[in-house]
Amino acid sequence: MSESRIRLIVGLGNPGPDYAQTRHNAGFWAVDRWADRLGASLQPNKNFFGEAGSARHRGQAIWLLKPQTFMNRSGQSVSALAKFYKFKPEEILVIHDELDLLPGQVRLKFGGGHAGHNGLRDIQSALGGPGFWRLRLGIGHPRSLGLQQNVVDFVLHRPRQRELEALLKAIDRSEQVIDRILDSEMEKAMSELHRDTPMAQDES
């Protein structure tokens, strides 16, 4: 597990009002909250194919990024900023929606596969491997939530009210451990984040 400090925080989603409230944009929601907490203003940046801004933490510049390339080209944006500032993959944290976790669950991990997530897949390809941090925000899976939608339809629709409330609480908890993460206290951040109470599977 890497001990490098996080220097780039990426929230994944799709650009435009049609996608703004969909499950797949949970990463955008979280990075907006993190930017507010850190005092960063995200502005369109053509060089980085996204909305980007910086803040300072303990004297070090921290960049935040929302790729505007659509999900399956997220790596184009992430790699452009990372290469410009010479950030190593282990200095990058990607915040994204996670089908394998119930709404209300949030997990921090280093490395691993993309589990079919097109944003992660493209970032791995652009960075040359999976060696970056991920903050996984549970949105549930249509089967675990008793829905008959296929996965693509599910992630591109708005969460139901109880799912949304649980997801927003998870984002709240992620915001509370920003200092831990930026201070490289990953084990402590994990301990705090993983004490969750996910939405019951039979709720709707």
Query: What CATH number is associated with residue 173?
Result: 3.40.50.1470
Residue 130 lies in a domain: yes
Strands 8-11 and 60-67: parallel
Residue 55 lies in a domain: yes
Mark whether 24 is an active-site residue.
yes
What does the pLDDT read at residue 125? Answer: 96
What does the pLDDT read at residue 39? Answer: 95
The pair of structure tokens assigned to 100 is 């394998």
Q: What is the pLDDT of residues 9-28, one digit of tens each?
A: 999 999 999 999 999 999 99
Least confident of 58-62, 63-67, 76-80, 197-201: 197-201
Residue 132 lies in a domain: yes
Length of the chain: 204
Q: Which residues are bridge partners to 115 per DSSP?
A: none
Report the pLDDT averaged over residues 131-153: 95
Residue 200 lies in a domain: no
Which residues are CB-contacts of 134 (< 8 A; sequence separation ≥ 6)? 93, 94, 95, 96, 108, 109, 110, 112, 120
Residue 114 lies in a domain: yes
Of 97, 87, 98, 94, the C-alpha closest to 111 is 94
- pLDDT surpassing 80 at residue 90: yes
Report the pLDDT averaged over residues 22-37: 97
What does the pLDDT read at residue 195? Answer: 81
Residue 18 lies in a domain: yes
Amino acid at 21: Q
What does the pLDDT read at residue 199? Answer: 67
Q: What is the domain count for the chain?
A: 1
The pair of structure tokens assigned to 23 is 């499950």
> Which range marks the domain in which residue 182 is found?
8-193
CA dihedral 153, 50, 132, 116 (to 10 degrees): 20
Average model confidence (pLDDT) for the chain? 93
Residue 126 lies in a domain: yes
- pLDDT surpassing 80 at residue 201: no
What does the pLDDT read at residue 1? Answer: 47
Report the pLDDT averaged over residues 65-71: 97
- Which one of the listed residues 24, 57, 96, 114 is annotated catalytic? 24
- Residue 116 contacts residue 69 (beta carbons within 8 Å): no
Of 155, 159, 177, the C-alpha closest to 168 is 159
What does the pLDDT read at residue 116? Answer: 85
- pLDDT surpassing 80 at residue 49: yes
Residue 1 lies in a domain: no
- pLDDT surpassing 70 at residue 200: no
What does the pLDDT read at residue 202? Answer: 42
